[in-house]
Amino acid sequence: MSSSSDAMSGSDAMSSGSAMSSGSGAGSDADRGPHAALYARHQAVLPDWLAVYYQRPIEITHGEGRHVWDAEGNRYLDFFGGILTTMTAHALPEVTKAISEQAGRILHTSTLYLDRPMVDLAERVATLSGIPDARVFFTTSGTEANDAALLLATTYRRSNQILAMRNSYHGRSFSAVGITGNRGWSPTSLSPLQTLYVHGGVRTRGPFAGLSDGEYIKACVADLEDVLGQAHGNVAALIAEPIQGVGGFTSPPDGLFAAFREVLDRHGILWITDEVQTGWGRTGDHFWGWQAHDRSGPPDILTFAKGIGNGMSIGGVVARAEVMNCLAANSISTFGGSPITMAAGLANLTHLVEHDLQGNARRVGGLLIERLRAACAGLDTVREVRGRGLMIGIELVEPGTGDPHPEGASAVLEAAREGGLLIGKGGGHNSSVLRIAPPLSLTVAEAEEGAEILETALKSTRSARSVS
């Protein structure tokens, strides 16, 4: 269903500049509707750098299944899930029931007291992580989870040197920004860490793009060895997203991190896998993204967030006991492990496992990506359709040049919303990649509906540019 205004906010899915809402025409004229009035208030009290989708942003008021509605009554098929966070479904009965029942008992206690829902969820996560003798620390976001992982790694290794991937994104805290290899999301060069960036996150661009997968892995390993040769003594850890989320759903060949792990192990360097976007079966083939590289065995540290809470604020770190327990000082978490968020997470995870939503992501995601590849065949504005499971990226380029095309991505985003579909954006600092990540319960019929809307949006914006 089309609507007369533009939709959906997203704080980690787009960069400044052309990807940001321009605000033109959306000002303070309340008689233009509830969206314009609310946006005027938003601009008056919130930071200019808080990214918002669409030229005239809208308010999402409620959702059900794979659909959401805005304040003007328009219905949308949701292919972005609040930035890969609505993992199972909007208003999932099991989750809303768990939240309601826990809220009726107690909302908050802090980690100073025993918390049964936290222990219950930690036991499930520890087992599912694959990490032996695992310990789990809950946070309120992926940013905070990665921050905690960096604290653990640097303390354990007595070093502030971190290896990170080019084009990466790990959050908005001071330390997470310091290891983010995507300049569109790194507003300062100041950092408590010394970050050394290595190749391997983007398969089809850069100096190794023309190599075979085997040669690509060898070249990236050689680059890693060269970077380590320039480090000052110990390096604490390598942190890497198995599939780069904000970077545009890019990924290396399977097995790259296994090859990296051989080098890391020789130097005693820890491996942190950032599963904030790839965890819980979203890739379809695996429960965790690291398992595509499983010759290396489980990581030393795993971070997670987003989908586990299905909208509730949950993040966390899993590490083997030796690493997790290396901190000598006391610590607590006021809001991490909150009884109400833990109850929601446990209900959501139980639903995901019992209904094999990983398998659904593999089956429906496989159909969706092939449908999108067919739709994009012959379009000179589409460089690549890539992804795994229900984590799909469409990279747009300027016709005839191969250069990133952020304006084109913005136009498709707008056209898709007008057609009744919400998607996201990402891809380096220029946001030229359309990001598609629906709830894992997506049906075949909904996948076809969304693909048809997106195909129309891609072709209509291409035609409009051709005419102009």
| Per-residue tens of pLDDT for the chain, all 468 residues | 443 333 333 333 333 333 333 333 333 444 568 999 999 999 999 999 999 999 999 999 999 999 999 999 999 999 999 999 999 999 999 999 999 999 999 999 999 999 999 999 999 999 999 999 999 999 999 999 999 999 999 999 999 999 999 999 999 888 888 888 887 778 888 789 999 999 999 999 999 999 999 999 999 999 999 999 999 889 999 999 999 999 999 999 999 999 999 999 999 999 999 999 999 999 999 999 999 997 768 999 999 999 999 999 999 999 999 999 999 999 999 999 999 999 999 999 999 999 999 999 999 999 999 999 999 999 999 999 999 999 999 999 999 898 999 999 999 999 999 999 999 999 976 789 999 999 999 999 999 999 999 999 999 987 555 444
pTM of the model as a whole: 0.90
How many angstroms separate the CA atoms of 66 and 88, rounded? 9
> Which domains, and CATH codes, for the chain?
110-346 (3.40.640.10)
Angle at 30 between CA 28 and CA 33, to 5 degrees: 120
How many angstroms separate the CA atoms of 86 and 244, rounded? 19
